[in-house]
Structure 1
Amino acid sequence: MNSSTFHEQPTQTPERLAFYAELDRHDLGALWEVLGKLGSLEPRPASVPAHWNYDDLRPLLMKSGSLISAEEAERRVLVLENPGLRGRSQITGSLYAGLQLILPGEIATSHRHVASALRFIVEGQGAYTAVDGERVSMRPGDFIITPSWTFHDHGNIGEEPVVWMDGLDIPIVNLFDTGFAQKYAGSTQPVTRAEGDALARYGTNMLPVEYTRYGSTSPVFSYPYERSREALARLVRSGPLHPSHGVKLQYVNPATGGAAMPTIGTWLQLLPAGFDTAAYRSTDGTVFSVVEGSGYSVIGGKKFAWKPKDIFVVPSWVNVEHHADDDAVLFSFSDRPSQQALGLWRDEAISS
């Protein structure tokens, strides 16, 4: 038996092949014929290491803005398709990602869906997103949540294009055949709360006395980059640095201490100039967006150079090492909370 194979397929004989054909007529199959595909000694992701250079993507984004309106498109997004998963609108086996463009004066109309969504702002100012009656301004580096089944719309009242990365758990929702969606009656929802209301109520290590937990998504739906960046800078100065992550913080639900989203984990990390991380791997395929700095990552033995606004992906159980040429900040997201809830997640530091 091949040591890298969980199960070696038995020899096929004319009698066995005839039997398999008989099984097929009854909508049956032989487990021993497919066990090597169903089970493996370790993860075998279909997704592959990949890198998207923002300098290449931006002209295509702007071209899309001249070809189709936000209204006609519903959401003007260029989907980030993993090269190993082409045609499936997936960046990893469980997650969707794309780059969304909204031009000055445009509105992306209000709708809702079961899939949970994150927005990580890449470029531009002057746009907003509205979630259940509250609008929040979008600035580069901000992390914003659209919880499952909440009405949301976007608008650009500024003077420049705004681009953000969308991350959704659509493949997870579709796996369970639980996808629902609905359009709002109007193009935008009424604004019923002042900007910053949610952050004031839930984002200061305090909760309103009448707060009742509903669901497991954070009641704070906007995490400003300025606050998160300051925390990273303080921790880098005080040390110590984690050998595989530098300084890495998880965005959390302040009401529970758990992940900000029930199915998607989100992080921000700082790698000081010249820092080399130790090799690491985990079962959650992870998407990275470069906020600041430049450097490179070695993913599964392949080197990918990156700079601000670039995006790259590390598949499940693939070794990764990061090197920062100068102070670098990376945002990342994965399906880790889903795996942890099911008792599936594991990680490993790789000895040199």
Structure 2
Amino acid sequence: MSTSNAAAIVDTKATRRDFYSRIDPANLAPLWEQLHNLVTRTPASACRAVHWPYRQVREYLREAGELITAEEAIRRVLILENPGLRGQAAATTSLYAGLQLILPGEIAPPHRHTQSALRLILEGEGAYTSVEGEKTPMKRGDFVITPSWTWHEHGNETDQPMVWLDGLDVPLVAMLDASFAENTGDQKAPSPQKSAGDSKARYGSNLLPVDYVAPTPASPLFSYPYADTLAALRTLAAGDAPDACHGHKLRYANPVTGGHPMPTIGAYIQLLPDVFSTAPYRCSAGTVFAVIDGAVTVTLDDRTFTAQPNDVFVIPSWAKHHFEAHGETTLFSFSDRPVQEVLGLWREQR
């Protein structure tokens, strides 16, 4: 390169830097300096693969139960923070996860919020979630939802602690600036007035109230018992060969529309036969998994770990991975796939 050409390049860079500094006070920036970081060839998420062993986290939950009451905390939860998203209360870029403890005799007081929430029961039996005045008893493995803007509270009338995995669309709602919430001091929550099983009778028996029109996209069925789910999976496993990438996998459904239980969060359950090893797979939805039964070795490009019952782990968007089951294994998972599908963004690679 000639001396004159080198000088011209230096001069051009200096001129551009001067231009950028002058437009900065006007809250302007040159797209051409950032385009390669904004429109990437594949997802470039800060979300990382992470594994939370339940045995370790459970001990911290026990300590939290001694430090603060459910009433004081409103919700006694340890947030599962992704190491690539610390300080953002995020398990993936769009979803929150946490482990909630409620001790015998405690009540987590009623509130409601625009964030949709799900629960996967990990420990205990007999406590309840009350949604819009209907008490839903909870057992291990049950999938329970509290749709957006529904009053809900939790109570434990048993003599044993209850622990469950919470999943919410907190980061997604925050990104949209659409967070609203009310406590019982703002407006009275509905008192329990519906018999247990009311929503199942109305919506979960292949029947609907006559002239029923769904008021929201969310499922009116609040509880999906694990006993029913496991029976369905085993029936499928008895008659079908497992899918190479998923084993035997089902998605939880809104019984009215056939869609997802909540418009922003999809939830899934899968059964992997003993010693079954899945083919490599990846998708565009960062996903939170929890082991219900069995155990699974998870292999990604950069790490391997084995998850035991009640362990929680995250597979980031577009991270290639495969599973190997140790014993008959059931995995629960949730992701933002419903949002991606509606927006035409969902992709997978088998």
TM-score, normalising length from structure 1?
0.94
Tell me the secondary structure at the aligned position of residue 45 of structure 1: coil
For 1:197 and 1:77, the matched residues in 2 are separated by 29
Name 1:252's counterpart in structure 2.
Answer: 253
Bigger Rg, structure 1 or 2: 2
For 2:205 and 2:221, the matched residues in 1 are separated by 10
For 1:187 and 1:159, the matched residues in 2 are separated by 29
Q: How many residues align?
A: 340
Name 2:111's counterpart in structure 1.
Answer: 111
* Cα drift, residue 206 of structure 1: 1.7
Match for 1:35: what amino acid?
L
**Is residue 335 of structure 2 the alignment partner of residue 347 of structure 1?**
no
Tell me the secondary structure at the aligned position of residue 57 of structure 1: helix
Tell me if structure 2 keeps the 8 A contact 1:112–1:183.
yes
Name 1:7's counterpart in structure 2.
Answer: none
**Is residue 139 of structure 2 the alignment partner of residue 139 of structure 1?**
yes
Tell me the secondary structure at the aligned position of residue 66 of structure 1: helix
Match for 1:79: what amino acid?
I
* Cα drift, residue 187 of structure 1: 8.9
* Cα drift, residue 336 of structure 1: 0.2
Tell me the secondary structure at the aligned position of residue 13 of structure 1: helix
Tell me if structure 2 keeps the 8 A contact 1:276–1:323.
yes
Question: In 2 relative to 1, CA 103–189 (structure 1 residues): closer, same or farther, beyond 3 Å?
Answer: farther
Q: Deviations over 1:66-119 (max 9, x none)?
A: 001111111000000001001110000000000000000101000000000001
Tell me if structure 2 keeps the 8 A contact 1:151–1:184.
no
Name 2:263's counterpart in structure 1.
Answer: 262
Match for 2:61: what amino acid?
L
Tell me the secondary structure at the aligned position of residue 331 of structure 1: strand
Match for 2:149: what amino acid?
W
Tell me if structure 1 keeps the 8 A contact 2:50–2:313.
yes
* Cα drift, residue 212 of structure 1: 1.3
Q: Deviations over 1:295-332 (max 9, x none)?
A: 20112341110110000110000011000011000000
Match for 2:258: what amino acid?
G
Match for 1:316: what amino acid?
S
Name 1:45's counterpart in structure 2.
Answer: 45
Name 1:4's counterpart in structure 2.
Answer: none
For 1:294 and 1:129, the matched residues in 2 are separated by 28
After the TM superposition, which residues 110-129 of structure 1 pair with which residues of structure 2 at under 5 Å, given as runs? 110-129=110-129
* Cα drift, residue 188 of structure 1: 6.7
**Is residue 28 of structure 2 the alignment partner of residue 32 of structure 1?**
no
For 1:171 and 1:188, the matched residues in 2 are separated by 26
Tell me the secondary structure at the aligned position of residue 61 of structure 2: helix
Q: Which runs of 5+ in 1 are unaligned?
A: 1-9
Q: Which runs of 5+ in 2 are unaligned?
A: 1-8
Larger CA deviation: 177-186 vs 222-231: 177-186
After the TM superposition, which residues 226-237 of structure 1 pair with which residues of structure 2 at under 5 Å, given as runs? 226-237=227-238
Name 2:4's counterpart in structure 1.
Answer: none
Name 1:333's counterpart in structure 2.
Answer: 334
Name 1:3's counterpart in structure 2.
Answer: none
After the TM superposition, which residues 187-198 of structure 1 pair with which residues of structure 2 at under 5 Å, given as runs? 189-198=190-199
Name 1:6's counterpart in structure 2.
Answer: none
Identical counterparts, % of pairs: 50
